[in-house]
């Protein structure tokens, strides 16, 4: 009886590890953020393990049932649509509940979008702050103000539809000459990393409509 946290590719299916495939084939149940999306992945690797929906809208309700199934002797794997579960994705609640119930947890190493984005940004990566998604409305300005003097390199996830707005607002708070990097479609055919100041990136993506998943890396504050 154990919970496996299993990363899945953020782009190229070849990024799936042999161990991840084996675990997903051996467990009794797979918790999937979106069973339709994960269905393509499982079909590609000929994984026939039953799936159950587990996403941010229902995880509060499903956690108790999952814990009980593991206590009854089942092994369960948790996956998200892409990357490592619980990193700006569902997963934290079920992990915490398993810990509180004395259930063993094993997290496999694997794909996480921000790591390649951070490395290819060329910005200092000896110390960094992972911020995930900024608040969309309430608390957004306060969060940006709080981060204005953060000395570590900062990592943000962003929607392509809000990227220009975020670059503009960060430029207003951090200063338009703050260096940054935008990576999109990581590990996919149209992967792109664009580097420059916040203002330069804002201008570029205003003229070139961004598509795909976005990771924004912003240099830390320098006195």
- At 62 the pLDDT is 84
To the nearest 10°, report the CA torsion of 67, 68, 69, 73: 100
- At 200 the pLDDT is 98
Residue range 151-192, pLDDT digits in tens: 999 999 999 999 999 999 999 999 999 999 999 999 999 999
- At 3 the pLDDT is 97
- At 107 the pLDDT is 97
Mean pLDDT of the residues in the chain: 94
- At 28 the pLDDT is 97
- At 55 the pLDDT is 80
Instruction: Give the confidence band of 101 by pLDDT, cuts at 50, 70, 90.
Output: very high
CB 10, CB 113: distance < 8 Å: yes
pTM of the model: 0.90
Q: What's the CA gap between 127 and 178, in Å, rounded?
A: 17
Q: How confident is the model over 212-220, as a mean pLDDT?
A: 96
Per-domain boundaries in the chain = 2-107, 114-218
CATH classification code of 114-218: 3.30.950.10
On the question of a common fold for 2-107 and 114-218, the answer reads no
- At 59 the pLDDT is 78
Lowest mean pLDDT among 29-38, 59-68, 76-85, 117-126: 59-68
| Burial class of 93 by CB neighbour count within 10 A (0 to 12, 13 to 18, 19+) | middle
CATH architecture of 2-107: 3-Layer(aba) Sandwich (3.40)
Q: Is the pLDDT of residue 76 over 80?
A: yes
Q: What's the CA gap between 18 and 3, in Å, rounded?
A: 18
- At 223 the pLDDT is 74
């Amino acid at each position: 009886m154990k919970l496996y946290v299993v990363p899945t590719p953020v782009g190229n299916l070849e990024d799936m590890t042999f161990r991840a495939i084996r675990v997903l084939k051996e467990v009794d149940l797979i918790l999937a953020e979106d069973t339709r999306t994960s269905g393509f992945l499982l079909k590609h690797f000929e994984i026939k393990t039953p799936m159950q929906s587990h996403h941010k809208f229902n995880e509060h309700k499903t956690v108790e049932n999952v814990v009980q199934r593991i206590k009854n002797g089942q092994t369960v794997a948790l996956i998200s649509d892409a990357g490592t579960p619980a990193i700006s994705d569902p997963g934290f609640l079920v992990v915490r509940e398993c810990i509180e119930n004395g259930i063993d947890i094993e997290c496999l190493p694997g794909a996480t979008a921000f790591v390649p984005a951070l490395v290819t940004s060329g910005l200092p990566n000896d110390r960094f702050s992972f911020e995930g998604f900024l608040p969309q409305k309430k608390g957004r300005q306060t969060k940006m103000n709080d981060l204005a003097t953060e000395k570590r390199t900062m990592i943000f996830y962003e929607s392509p539809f809000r990227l220009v707005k975020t670059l503009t607002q960060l430029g207003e708070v951090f200063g338009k000459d703050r260096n940054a990097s935008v990576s999109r479609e990581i590990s996919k055919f149209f992967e792109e990393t664009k580097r420059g100041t916040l203002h330069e990136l804002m201008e570029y993506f205003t003229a070139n409509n961004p598509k795909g998943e976005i990771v924004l890396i912003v240099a830390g504050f320098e006195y």
